[in-house]
Amino acid sequence: DAKTTQPPSMDCAEGRAANLPCNHSTISGNEYVYWYRQIHSQGPQYIIHGLKNNETNEMASLIITEDRKSSTLILPHATLRDTAVYYCIVSSKNGAGSYQLTFGKGTKLSVIP
């Protein structure tokens, strides 16, 4: 499985951009990078995903390096409601031949007033 490494915690001032890094140096060519977040005991919320190109949607932007070994999730204007644990996930094929999401410990983002 391609594993990911994220800082355990980060702080961000309200209204500023939050940049959450993720390393996935063992990612293979056909694996996607997914980002989810979990706000205090709620179900994980899908944010964005990408393969090679940078992606943007109404929630965030995803910047993937050219060698695909790392990526950064950008929340352009963080609000208090963005306080959550953010998970960077690389889709991986398991022994049963199917794909699943493997959640690590994620980054706990605290948005500070």
Check binding of 101 to another protein (CB under 8 A).
Answer: yes
Residues 57-96 that bind another protein (CB under 8 A): 87, 91, 93-96
Nearer to another protein, 14 or 57 (CB): 57
C-alpha 85/C-alpha 95 separation (Å) is 28
- Give ∠ CA 18-57-63 in degrees, rounded to 5: 55
Q: Is 69 helix (H, G, I), strand (E, B) or coil?
A: coil
Q: Is residue 103 at the binding interface for another protein, with CB under 8 A as the rule?
A: yes
Q: Where on the chain is the footprint of another protein (CB under 8 A)?
A: 29-32, 34, 36, 41-46, 49, 87, 91, 93-106
